Amino acid sequence: MGVDIIENIKIQLIAHTLVVNAKLNNKLYDSVISRIKERDKKTITEYFSNNSEYYLQIGCGFNVLPNWLNSDIELNTDQVIYLDANDKFIFKNETFQFIFSEHLIEHLEFNGAVNLLSESYRVLKIGGRIRVATPDMSFLHNLFQDPDNERNRNYVEWSFSKYISNIHNSPFSNSEINHVYVINNFHRAWEHQIIFTYETLKHILEVIGFKNVEKKEVGMSDISELVNIERHSSIIPHEFNLMETMVLEAVK
């Protein structure tokens, strides 16, 4: 048997093995998700039974808010239900008074981001409000345009040493250009897919049907239930979270 024939057989066997494993993994994944959703029915029923107004947090991570139905694609606690922001939500139209999502939408591809906001619009009550916290591209532009600003310089020094240590401890580090490394890293790190400007996200919200789109400060709102619900400042220094993050509220 020729060498080329043997190599071709090996390639076919490897390809077949990969396909079979993928199918098995998909079946296993679907089975696990099915069991999780079945478990979630009890959590959801209890939440609706124990509360008179309903609030949904999407992509909660470890920020489990009291009196909210907390959801995520990764389940860190049994207090959190499974919800994939890319898919149709399991809830009926006009169910929730408030919907909150912090540092999630930037991890979705564009269609996923639109789905998150469209489904949120569908399941919000008339007059209900969405609050979205996400990185602001304007802050990156400001880093580039004014790197010598003291706040920007402090941010770059912190981010550069924390997240880009391979360059930070090398001859390629240079105080004149390190902000460029930081900006590039921010765009691609943490599985970021899209960084919005206020104008872009406002436009998308309005196209979907939201009105009264307003920019808020982190932790601040005219609505008491939406005050101090962000937690990103527990992950990075508060002063830098204020620089990175914009918060939008909009009404259905």
Q: Which residues of 213-226 are buried (b: 16+ CB within 10 A; e: fewer)?
A: beebebbebeeebb
The beta-strand segments (E) located in 103-153 are 124-135
pLDDT in tens, the chain (252 residues): 555 555 545 454 564 454 445 554 666 556 666 777 788 889 999 999 999 999 999 999 999 999 999 999 987 778 899 999 999 999 999 999 999 999 999 999 999 999 999 999 999 999 999 999 999 999 999 999 999 999 999 999 999 999 999 999 899 999 999 999 999 999 999 999 999 999 999 999 999 999 999 999 999 999 999 999 999 999 999 999 999 999 999 999
**Residue 175 structure tokens:** 């105080």
CB 195 within 8 A of CB 187: yes
Helix (H) or strand (E) holding 250: strand 245-251
CB 98 within 8 A of CB 131: yes
Q: At what angle do helices 150-163 and 137-145 cross, to 10 degrees?
A: 110
Whole-prediction pTM: 0.86
CB 77 within 8 A of CB 84: no
User: What does the radius of gyration of the chain's CA atoms come to, in whole angstroms?
Assistant: 22
